[in-house]
Amino acid sequence: MALWRTVQVLRTADARMFESAAYQPGSRAVDAYTIDLANPSANDAIRKAGGITNVRRYPNGALLVKENFNLHRRATGVTAMLKLSGYDPADRNWVMAAYTPAGKVIAYGKVPACIACHAMVSTQDFVFAPPPKQLLSVAIWKAFFPKQTITSAYEQLLRWHPAAVVR
């Protein structure tokens, strides 16, 4: 519950992640829009490195949050990554969490699906840059979300920004 309370502080403060925008396009139809939040520790690391793609290691205590919204901009869920020294060195000490909008835990800890996807940006300490700066190809996206529908906005971003696809 302590992590959820900290997530709530960021949400209430609208502590936007550096390089992120409000209601940016999400990739899944269930989360057509997202807002990325970050605590000061994470934002400081991003600023000091000159951007998300330049961060090689986030400091202990860095917290990154993604709020997910449907097409009507109603909350559908919240995901979070907390850097916790000594937690899981093999996966860069990130605690992964997924919640309902009301804070019910869906997944917490060493979440294999989250880790597998975020490992694609291991040089960035497992943190993706917001779209359109980094995008997943349709094939990779479908591998991670086989029962989901990709949004037309995300498909459009892929057409407009082919160089942003994570390889």
Token pair in block for residue 80: 């979070």
Vertex 21: Cα angle to 75 and 62 (nearest 5): 80
Q: What is the pTM of this model?
A: 0.95
CATH numeric code, 2-129: 3.50.70.20
Mean pLDDT to the nearest integer, 106-121:
95
Q: Which two tokens stand for residue 102?
A: 């009301």
How many Å separate Cα 121 from the centre of its chain?
A: 12
Read off the pLDDT of residues 32-76 as tens digits, 9 standing for 90 and up. Answer: 999 999 999 999 999 999 999 999 999 999 999 999 999 999 999
- Cα–Cα distance measured from residue 88 to residue 86, given in angstroms and rounded to the nearest whole number: 6
- If pLDDT is split at 50, 70 and 90, which confidence band does 140 have? very high
Predicted confidence band of residue 1 (pLDDT cuts 50, 70, 90): confident
- Return the percentage of the chain with pLDDT > 70, whole number: 100
pLDDT band at 167; cut points 50, 70, 90: confident
Q: Residues 92, 93, 94, CA angle at the centre, nearest 5°?
A: 95
In the Cβ-directed half-sphere of 87, how many Cα atoms lie within 13 Å? 17
> Quick check: bond before 162 cis, omega within 30?
no
CB 137 within 8 A of CB 158: yes
What's the DSSP call for residue 17? Answer: P
Give the other-Cβ count within 10 Å of 8's Cβ. 13
**CA angle (93, 97, 99) in 5-degree steps:** 170
Q: Which two tokens stand for residue 143?
A: 């591998």
